[in-house]
Amino acid sequence: MALPEVITHQDQLLTIDTKANAFLKGFLLPGIRIHPLMLDPQHGLWVLRAIFPPGITLPLHFHTGTVHIYTMSGCWYYTKYPEQKQTAGCYLYEPGGSIHQLKTPTSNTEDTDTFMVVSGTNINFLEDGTFLDVMDAGMIKAWVDQAIKDQGRNNMKYVAATGPTYSVNPHPRVRIQLGRVP
């Protein structure tokens, strides 16, 4: 088999160095820091590096899509499963349709550093089950873009997927009319 033709040309690799910029602050709750890696609202995909301080409890939420979380340092768990702590080196897969609440123990001696790939939407609720809000790739992109501006991180970048567009007629002078041969 011959080597296939390149259909996606790259002048450079799409790579993000999370050490090149300070993380964005104030995502969801005070103390949480994030570094966006890829945001694709068209496909409902968000990829983040998120750092949680000790003692954080996220809102109860329902996932419409899947989640992959890899823990690089610290400790966290779901309030429903406090005995199944996620620590450095742990990978967790969450199926779509799951409901849970992430918590970092107040006893943590370090921040909890995670890498997450999320598809779909988080539908957030208060403790009593009352609807709070919706969080998806589009909302996160809007927040990130504003935070980059507000926090003076103009050189921070992330991989941004572009949306669909019309194809381009490679021969703009050629016009084809239906029912007629040019």
Under a CB-based contact definition with an 8 Å cutoff, are residues 150 and 87 in contact? no
pLDDT tens per residue across span 71-108: 999 999 999 999 999 999 999 999 999 999 999 999 99
Single-letter residue type at 94 = E
DSSP 36: E
**pLDDT value at position 181?**
47
User: Would the pLDDT of 39 be above 90?
Assistant: yes
Quick one: tokens of 107? Answer: 């006893």
Nearest to 161 by CA among 37, 12, 35, 9: 37
> Confidence class of residue 45 from pLDDT cuts 50, 70 and 90?
very high
Under a CB-based contact definition with an 8 Å cutoff, are residues 71 and 87 in contact? yes
